[in-house]
Amino acid sequence: MAAVIRSSYGPYRFAAALITNVKKNPLKLLDEMRLSGSSGIQFCRPEIVVSARHLVAAFAAAATTTLAGTARSKRIEVEYLLRLSCQRQIQDALKVAGIRGGEDKIVAAAITTGDTDPETLLYKIVEELGGTIEPFRQVASPATLMEIYNISKELLEVVPAPDPADALELLIIEKVVSSYVG
């Protein structure tokens, strides 16, 4: 299983990873890092992510809305957080997905354009945080994810999927995708 999740869409390139054993406050790092206008980073709580596909779907939704000129944010990394959390307001996305500072486990995403490699930026972030990249795994319980994304047990049961975990992932990704068409 690959530890770094990669994707691209139009001019945007994306890399994300689960980072554990974080030693430095990620919020302080955001203040310290000076990124060019062609690069953005976003941190979120791993408890809100169901799968690597969820991360990629949120990136694709953010890139789509940004390219179409319908993004709610001027910065793609903020749009990514909106799509990942399925929220319409930035403050709500921060409440649902945002880190508080002092976490020892986070999901970090780098989104770039041009010559900047998002994976290189991601490794720089890991080094600055003093953490370790691990293969992505679901951190939260299905019940927690169902509560975060407002998915009922009844809805979960009607989705044709091999098991409930697959159905939950499908429903969350559907919410991500529908968050930019409505």
Per-residue confidence band for 99, with pLDDT thresholds at 50, 70 and 90: very high
Residues 145 and 79: their CA atoms lie apart, in Å, by: 21
For the entire predicted model, the pTM comes to: 0.93
Residues 30 and 42: their CA atoms lie apart, in Å, by: 9
Per-residue confidence band for 62, with pLDDT thresholds at 50, 70 and 90: very high
The structural domains of the chain, with segments of one domain joined by +, span 5-178
Return the percentage of the chain with pLDDT > 90, whole number: 75
**CATH annotation of 5-178:** 3.30.2380.10
